[in-house]
Amino acid sequence: MPLLRAVVRPGLVAIAVLAATGRAMRLLGGDDPREDQAVRALQYAFGHRPDDGDADVTTDPAGPTGPREPIGRVTAPLSWYSGVPQTIANGAIWCGVTWLLTRDPRSAVAPAAALAFETACFVASAALVRRPRPGRVWRPEQPHATSSFPSGHTAAAFALHGTLADLLDRHGARGARLLGPLLRYGIPGAIAFSRVYRGQHHISDTVAGAILGRWTAAVVRQELISS
């Protein structure tokens, strides 16, 4: 069956690979891996410390979380932009814009399909891995209840923006060569960095999320955009 071949079977394989990778990383590196040392060092360099009353979260509005700290000032809107409600709205808006510009139903559903496919793989694999969020870090926003591995925000950013870049290429839009790399790597990469810098994820979580998102965009391109 086309649906089984195109979506279900690859999705199950992706979930299995992510789950096995995440569990192996927890087994080999523990829940406080070495990679977190670099994140803590960067946070400390810009004046951020874990709250003494809570080893994981600090939300002191008078501290260096404010606009005086340049990386915090840049990553705050990126973290907000990648939030779940904003991402859903973003996908819906781009579905509508694509339909108005192309009148191609397969292209119009591509952004939503990319987010739906990525979300299914992310939720299932995260439930199997159950990796805790980084500890002893500055974290200005409360994390979601889902597992830290893989990073769903990163995966969604790479899936959605990569699909938008593929749509630009498919329909020969002006500026596709310039906007393509920005959409595929620039914006999602910045979001991935913001998730790490703001204490939401281990570095490896965002690497896995980026791979999942790029792979999801490739599946959508093959099944909807290029066909």
Structure tokens at 23: 């569990």
The Cα 124–Cα 105 span in angstroms is 28
Over residues 74-118, the pLDDT tens digits come to: 999 999 999 999 999 999 999 999 999 999 999 999 999 999 999
The Cα 227–Cα 221 span in angstroms is 8
| Chain mean pLDDT for the chain | 90
Q: What is the CA angle 134-138-139, rounded to 5?
A: 75
Over residues 120-149, the pLDDT tens digits come to: 999 999 999 999 999 999 999 999 889 999
pTM for the complete prediction? 0.91
- Residue spans per domain, the chain: 2-50+63-225
Position 175 scores a pLDDT of 80
pLDDT band, very low/low/confident/very high, at 66 (cuts 50, 70, 90): very low
Asked if residue 67 has pLDDT above 50, the reply is no
Over residues 169-183, the pLDDT tens digits come to: 999 888 888 899 999
Structure tokens at 14: 């992706």
pLDDT band, very low/low/confident/very high, at 3 (cuts 50, 70, 90): low
Q: Give Cβ neighbours of residue 190 (< 8 Å, ≥ 6 apart).
A: 78
pLDDT band, very low/low/confident/very high, at 49 (cuts 50, 70, 90): confident
**Exposure on the CB side of residue 90, measured as CA atoms within 13 A:** 19
Asked if residue 5 has pLDDT above 90, the reply is no
pLDDT band, very low/low/confident/very high, at 51 (cuts 50, 70, 90): low
Average pLDDT, integer, range 57-65: 42
- In the chain, the amino acid numbered 33 is P
Kindly provide the residue ranges of all beta strands, DSSP E only, lying in the chain, ordered along the sequence.
none
